[in-house]
Chain A
Amino acid sequence: MRLNELSSRLSQWFCSESPLSDIVISSRIRLARNLAGHKFISRCDDREKQEILQTLKDAILSLDLLGDIFFVDIAGGSGLERDLLIERQLISRNLAAGKGPRGVVIATNELFAAQINEEDHLRLAVFAAGLNLDKCWQRINDIDDAIGRKIEYAFSPKLGFLTACPTNLGSGIRVSVMVHLPGLKMTDQLKKLFEAAKDMNLAIRGLFGEGTEAVGDFFQISNQVTLGISEEKTVEDFMTLIIPKIVEYERLARDRLMVKDANILDDKISRALALLKSARLISSHEAMFLLSNLRMGVNMGRIKEISIDTINELFLLTQPAHLQINKGQNLDPEQRDILRAETLRAKLN
């Protein structure tokens, strides 16, 4: 089965050889689209949702520019499968928790996903490792054009692409960049970053954590304004202004730590490695936190014997659904903590 193949390997967008990859983990662009002549999801009965699902699925599966793709029925799948796709960021919690006919078309290389009947009829997403939004935009623009020639989108010349929530109206574009900011965290500068982001109409949310709290200093930075700004301008702002600035601040913070607090830094990193190498029970929260510190240590050259790819791989493999699918059975939290610790020891020792 396809999902099993996914669970044992690293996502391509999570690879280390990419622009600014010590700080910028991945880039993603999402487009929100709806079919003309149908109600939005919240007012659809199951029959209409089924119709929409079929129309969009047929249109996307018949495209020849997508390479190897497959469809996952989310309404019919198991909870564990849905969790796996959430952990790999291929579907949203919203789609997993939804009701009625819905699904996702995924590229085998995991660089493309089309969620059907999420908040909007169609949520296209393209991913890339590192800071690579230009490439993402080119790709998703082509895919969107191709789909737009097969079906009719709900569109108004004045308001642009019409979406279920007015906050996505217009271009329907959401540009998101995942960054690792342990330096800003350790030097107590995250609050400043959040303030600046608010002024620039950006949203920042923690990743891998529950709710808004970030575990392990990973953050996703996204645009919020989708009306009155072209897609190119939004992408350009991220590529030339927003992300380079954040990267610069994070590097400065790291440099300062090396000069002023090298002992504290090395202590944090060494403790993280020691715990990960020897723990017998470890929660996913603690694992994320320690892996984050370890990742910083490797990127700052304080630890030489472990590769970033190994750490990235462990971020995925130690998450609950990944552990269970790779083990081939359901596990309770304590069994998961044991298996997580085993997985970490095996990879790091």
Chain B
Amino acid sequence: MQCNICKTRTATVHLTEIIDGQRTESHLCQSCAQKEGITIKSQLSLNELLGSLIAAHQQPDEQGRGEAEKSCPVCGMTMEIFRKQALLGCPKDYEIFERNLQVIIEKAHDGNLTHKGKIPGGISTSTNSVESQTASSSDTTKDKKEIKTENEMDSTHSASSGQAGSPRVKELEKQLEQAVRNEDYELAAKLRDQLKAMQ
């Protein structure tokens, strides 16, 4: 595929943007992408892409929609800026955009949403928060390494419902993730529409 800008070099950077439900694709070569200020960080761009795909298919709840209108009083961050650069502006953003970020955090961390591990200054500095933290994190501890057999997959199928977070939705999201990884944007768009329809 040719680069959209210089029309000579091969396009190696593929961008999918979804604005108001409209999908636009651009295909650029490395050097034009750099000129356009698009830095290529392989991990990041995947997460970014996922973030935007998922954000597009998810009908946000009231809180989520409210967040999308907000900007951070400390640093001026908005969800729109975040989608572009994939970097947050200050620690406060994690509170302000909690709902919107949750989806992205879950994706990036294999479904986990709660910290497990050390706290600042070593354990000795604040015993209280250690206790509360281990209590809350042990609830969510799951063994992520298990591999589902075909049968189990089927049973999750039959138990499916259209609710967000249901096994069927989770599975579609997994397929969506795979499609994005494979750069199969057609399939990704289809899966996204399916997910949309379930909500």
Q: Which of B14-22, B59-67, B125-133 contacts A (4 or more CB under 8 A)?
A: B125-133
- Asked if B116 and A165 make an inter-chain contact with CB atoms under 8 angstroms apart, the answer reads no
Task: Map CB proximity to B onto A203-241 as digits: 1 under 8 Å, 0 otherwise.
Answer: 101000001100000000000111111111000000000
- Asked if B115 and A170 make an inter-chain contact with CB atoms under 8 angstroms apart, the answer reads yes
- Asked if A231 and B118 make an inter-chain contact with CB atoms under 8 angstroms apart, the answer reads yes
- Asked if B133 and A157 make an inter-chain contact with CB atoms under 8 angstroms apart, the answer reads yes
Interface assignment of A251: CB less than 8 Å from any CB of chain B: no
The complex places the Cα of A154 from the Cα of B89 at a distance, in Å, of 13
- Asked if B47 and A228 make an inter-chain contact with CB atoms under 8 angstroms apart, the answer reads no
Interface assignment of B101: CB less than 8 Å from any CB of chain A: yes
- Asked if B117 and A170 make an inter-chain contact with CB atoms under 8 angstroms apart, the answer reads yes
Closest chain B residue, CB of each to CB of A156? B94
Interface assignment of B114: CB less than 8 Å from any CB of chain A: yes
- Asked if B109 and A171 make an inter-chain contact with CB atoms under 8 angstroms apart, the answer reads no
Task: Using known A-B contacts A39-B90, A169-B105, A224-B43, determine if residue A229 contacts B117 with beta carbons closer than 8 Å.
Answer: yes
Give the number of residues in A that approach B within 8 Å (Cβ atoms): 50
Interface assignment of B197: CB less than 8 Å from any CB of chain A: no
The complex places the Cα of A78 from the Cα of B77 at a distance, in Å, of 33
Closest chain B residue, CB of each to CB of A212? B42
Could you say which of A144, A161, A162, A228 contacts B137, with CB atoms under 8 Å apart? A228
Could you say which of A41, A42, A227 contacts B112, with CB atoms under 8 Å apart? A227
Give the number of residues in B that approach A within 8 Å (Cβ atoms): 47
A-B CB pair tally, cutoff 8 Å: 140
Interface assignment of B159: CB less than 8 Å from any CB of chain A: no
- Asked if A40 and B75 make an inter-chain contact with CB atoms under 8 angstroms apart, the answer reads yes
CB-CB under 8 A from A2, the residues of chain B are none
Could you say which of A148, A164, A166, A225 contacts B122, with CB atoms under 8 Å apart? A148
Q: Which of B1-9, B80-88, B150-158, B183-191 contacts A (4 or more CB under 8 A)?
A: B80-88
CB-CB under 8 A from B164, the residues of chain A are none
Q: Mostly helix, strand, loop or mixed at chain B's interface?
A: loop
CB-CB under 8 A from B87, the residues of chain A are 40-42, 119, 164-165
CB-CB under 8 A from B88, the residues of chain A are 40, 164-166
Interface assignment of A3: CB less than 8 Å from any CB of chain B: no
The smallest beta-carbon distance between A211 and chain B, in angstroms, is: 8
- Asked if B89 and A171 make an inter-chain contact with CB atoms under 8 angstroms apart, the answer reads no
Could you list 20 further interchain pairs (A-B, Cβ under 8 angstroms) beyond the known A161-B115, A167-B47, A224-B108? A119-B87, A144-B118, A148-B120, A148-B122, A149-B125, A155-B119, A156-B91, A159-B94, A164-B87, A166-B101, A167-B108, A170-B115, A170-B116, A211-B40, A224-B43, A225-B108, A227-B108, A227-B115, A228-B109, A229-B112
Residues on B facing A (Cβ under 8 Å): 40, 42-44, 47, 74-77, 85-91, 94, 101, 104-105, 108-122, 125, 129, 132-133, 136-137, 140-141, 144-145, 147, 181
A-B contact pairs, 6 of them (CB 8 A): A40-B75, A169-B108, A224-B108, A225-B109, A225-B144, A231-B118
